[in-house]
Structure 1
Amino acid sequence: MNHAARPVPRLLILGGTTEARRLAADLVASPLAPQVTTSLAGRVAAPRLPAGDVRIGGFGGPEGLARWLREHAVDALIDATHPFAGTISHNAAVAAATAHVPLLAVRRPGWVPGPGDDWHQVASLDEAAAALPALGARVFLTTGRMGLAHFAHLTGLWFLVRSVDAPEPPHPPRMRTLLDRGPFTLDGERELLRRHHIDVLVTKDSGAAATAPKLTAAREAGIPVVLVRRPPAPEGVPVAADPAEAVDWVRRLFA
Structure 2
Amino acid sequence: MKILILGGTGEARELANRLVAMGHEVTTSLAGRTQDPKLPEGGLRMGKFGGIPGLAAYLKVAGIDRLVDATHPYAGLISINAVAAAQQARVPLVRYMRPAWEQQIGADWVTVENVAEAAAALPPNADVLLTTGHTGLSHFLERDDCQFVVRTIEVPDMELPRHASLLRTRPPYSVGDEMALMQREGITHLVTKNSGGGQTAAKLEAAQKLGVKVIMIARPVYGPANEVASLDEAIAALDIGG
Tell me, what secondary structure is at the counterpart of 2:123? helix
| 1:182-210 residue CA offsets vs partner (Å, 9 max, x unmatched) | 11111110111011110100000000210
Q: Which position in structure 2 is the counterpart of 1:29? A: 21
Structure 2 CA distance for aligned equivalents of residues 186 and 25 of structure 1: 30
In the alignment, the residues of structure 2 paired with residue 84 and residue 218 of structure 1 have an alpha-carbon distance, to the nearest angstrom, of 22
Matched residue, 1:101:
91
After TM superposition, the score normalised by the length of structure 1 is: 0.91
Please state how far the C-alpha of 1:254 moved relative to its aligned partner. 5.0
Counterparts of 2:2 and 2:122, CA distance in 1? 47
8 Å contact kept, 1:84–1:230: yes
**2:150 & 2:214 partners in 1: Cα distance?**
15
Distance 1:231 1:110 in 2: 12
CA contact (8 A) 1:149 1:172 kept: no
Check whether the contact 1:107–1:240 (CA below 8 A) recurs between aligned residues: yes
Q: What is the CA distance between 1:172 and its match in structure 2? A: 5.1
Following TM superposition, by how much is the alpha carbon of 1:52 offset from its aligned partner in structure 2, in angstroms?
Answer: 1.1
Q: Percent identity?
A: 45
CA deviation after TM superposition for structure 1 residue 221, in Å? 0.1
Give 1:170 shift: 6.2
* One-letter code aligned to 1:248: A
Indicate the residue corresponding to 1:241 in structure 2: 229
Q: What is the rounded CA distance, in whole Å, between the counterparts of 2:163 and 2:105 in structure 1?
A: 33
Inter-partner Cα distance in structure 2 for 1:153 and 1:194: 24
2:126 to 131, 137, 149: 137
Quote the Cα distance in structure 2 between the aligned partners of 1:142 and 1:154. Answer: 16
What is the CA distance between 1:80 and its match in structure 2? 0.3
| Structure 1: 4+ residue segments shifted above 4 A | 170-173
> Match of 1:10?
2
Q: Deviations over 1:124-169 (max 9, x none)?
A: 00000000126x6110000002321111210111100111101122
Q: How many residues align?
A: 242
Q: Determine the structure 1 residue equivalent to 2:69.
A: 79
For 2:216, what is the secondary structure of its paired residue? Answer: strand
Q: Tell me what 1:65 maps to.
A: 55
Task: From the CA coordinates, give the structure whose radius of gyration is larger.
Answer: 1
1:129-168 maps to which residues of 2 (within 5 A)?
Answer: 129-133=119-123, 137-168=126-157
2:177 match: 188
Once the two structures are TM-superposed, the CA of residue 67 in structure 1 deviates from its matched residue by: 0.7
Letter in 1 for 2:227: V
Residue 44 (1) aligns with residue 49 (2): no
1:253 to partner: Cα distance? 4.2
In the other structure, the counterpart of 1:3 is none
Root-mean-square deviation (CA, aligned residues, Å) is: 1.4
Segment drifting more, 100-109 vs 161-170: 161-170
**Alpha-carbon displacement from aligned partner over 1:15-34 (angstroms, at most 9, x marks no partner):** 0011101111111112xx11
Partners of 2:63 and 2:41 lie apart in 1 by 20
Structure 2 residues without counterparts, runs of 5 or longer: none
Deviations 1:1-48 (A, max 9, x none): xxxxxxxx0000000011101111111112xx1100000000112211
- Aligned partners of 1:105, 1:177: CA distance in 2, in Å? 33
Question: Corresponding residue for 1:200?
Answer: 189
Checking the alignment, whether the CA contact within 8 Å between 1:159 and 1:174 is kept in structure 2 is yes
